[in-house]
Each structure stands twice: as C-alpha cells, then as structure tokens.
Amino acid sequence: MQDSMNSQTFEALRSFIYEQSGIFFEKSKEYLLSSRLKKRIRELNLNSFEEYIAYLKSTSSRGELPKLFDAITINETYFFRHINQINAFRDIIMPDVLKRKRTANIWSAASSTGEEPYTLIIALMEKYGQAIPAKILASDISQEALNKAKDGVYNEYSLKELSVDTKYKFFDTIKPGSYKIKDLIKNKCIFRNINLNNHTELNRIGKMDVIFCRNVLIYFNKESRQKVIDKMYDILNPGGYLVLGATESISRLNTKFKLCHFKKALAYQKEI
C-alpha cells in the first residue's frame, strides 16, 4: 500500500468526492484525505489509491459511497456546543416561531453522532416540559455517525458542558465515564441519512421552521455553499430561521436571508 498519492490521483479523488457530496478538499488537505482513506483501501484488499478510484467508479461498488463518506467526515462535537446559540434558539427563536404555529419543525442538518439534536430536545424540555412543541429531524451524510447517534452512548468529553443535575436527569450511567441518553429524549428524534448535495433527498424533507447547519459548510466551496443555502431557504417556512456555526457567515453569498443579532449569537431569518 502506497503512503501518499500523486497530484493527479488527488485531483481525481477530490473531483469525485465533490461531485458526490459537495465536500471540497483543498490542496493543503491532501495528507488528511490520504490518511483517512488508507484504512478503507486496506479493508478492500486494494493496493493503491488509483485502484480505489477505479473501484468507486465501478458497478460493483454500489455500497461504497456511504463507507467513503464515513471515512472523510469529521464528527467532532459535544452537548450544548456554542451555548449562546442554544440559548437564543430556546428563548428567542422558538417563542417567535410558536407565535405563528403550534408545533415547530426543526432540522439538525449535520447531526453527526447526535449531540446537537439531543441538545435541542433537552433545551426545549427544560423550557416546555416533556411535551415539547416541536418535531426534530436529524440527518447526516455518515451512516456510521447516525448509528452512533441512535445508540446514544457518550463519553465524558461529549458531556463536558453539562451540570451533574442535567446528566442525572437526561442520561443513564452505563459505567464510569460512559452515559446513555434516556429513551424519553431519543424517542423524540427521527434520524435519516441525507446528503446535503443531493437535491432529490432534500426535496423529500418537507418544510422546516428552524434549521441548524453548524460547522459543515466550511467543508464546501463557494458554489456548493450557495446551492445548499438556496435550498435551505426554500425548505424554510416564512419567518423560519437558519443557524450556522458560531464562526460561519453567508454574508458573501447572494441570499434573501435577514441577519438577526441575538446576545452573543447570530441567525438568519427568511422573510415572513
């Protein structure tokens, strides 16, 4: 197995991944891409990156795309990440949405291993009780990440922002340092494998009132970001909100969103 790929092979892999997912690897990420794919190549008993590209493009690799997406995506997250955004969602965005309807449709569009959608549910339960006025859809391109989310088992790092009381209320301790989300949280969330670059899949989602799409568009180039943002605008109901990562912005894209400033947090709103 070769240690690195040449420039032509990198370009071919990058183009294939971009075409299939919208994820764009800069030249500086060549080492990251090669290191993440080596394990998969060995598992397939292939000898080179070139053989892997040929396999990806062959008819016999129908089930390989999910494995590729699992290999290249980064699932670094934890509960109540960027707490100011969660507070704005709970205390400002949700009350505003609920002025117009009784139940909000919420989409965690890059849910990774489940910390984000479960955080949203916990935040809503703290404000509204167990019968939260919301339906939660969580999606990710990585099936492996979704499987972990459905298992709902987390380590100390994932829960590092939670108080002892919150851990006790919403998690069961499996063993020291290992916690399982309680079923009353898990059962309020629907998980689906969705590729943000696949508009056919996005068209099946239906209308949403709040979309969380945090820390995923940073992996897309400008063209892909524009397409995803435009599609999310269409998916949102009038008055709906889009929440991006704390350091992300769509100010350089041509969109109809209105920028909303909250206390130490931002969101983008579709006109009513």
- Decide: residue 193, CB within 10 A, 0-12 exposed, 13-18 middle, 19+ buried: middle
Q: Report phi then psi at 10, rounded to 5.
A: -60, -45
- Which H/E stretch holds residue 166? helix 164-170
Cα 98 from Cα 94, distance rounded (Å): 6
Reading across the β-sheet that carries 134-140, which strands appear in turn? 189-193, 134-140, 104-108, 208-213, 236-244, 265-269, 258-262
Residue 256 CA to residue 14 CA, distance in Å, equals 31
What pLDDT sits at residue 6?
87
Residue 26's DSSP bridge partners are: none
Question: Could you give the domains of the chain?
Answer: 7-72 (1.10.155.10), 83-269 (3.40.50.150)
Are the CB atoms for 104 and 133 separated by under 8 Å?
A: yes
Task: Quote the pLDDT of residue 1.
Answer: 58
Task: Give me the residue label for tokens 């790929």.
Answer: 5
For position 63, what pLDDT does the model report?
83
CB 83 within 8 A of CB 187: no
Predicted confidence at residue 150, as pLDDT, reads 97
Nearest to 162 by CA among 211, 110, 214, 118: 118
Averages of pLDDT over each 10 residues, the chain, 272 residues:
79 91 86 89 91 85 83 85 96 98 97 97 97 97 94 96 95 94 97 93 95 91 91 97 91 87 94 92
Residue 31 has a pLDDT of: 87
**What is the structure's pLDDT at 25?**
87
- Residue 36, pLDDT score: 87
**Beta-strand runs (E) in the chain:** 104-108, 134-140, 153-155, 171-175, 178-181, 189-193, 208-213, 236-244, 258-262, 265-269
- pTM for this one? 0.87
Token pair for residue 172? 């069961």
Q: How many CB atoms lie within 10 A of CB 251?
A: 9
Neighbours of 72 (CB within 10 A): 21
Checking phi first, is residue 45 left (phi over 0); if not, alpha (psi -120 to 50) or beta? Answer: left
pLDDT number for residue 218: 85
User: What's the pLDDT at 60?
Assistant: 64
What count of Cα atoms within 13 Å lies in the side-chain half-sphere of residue 134?
A: 35
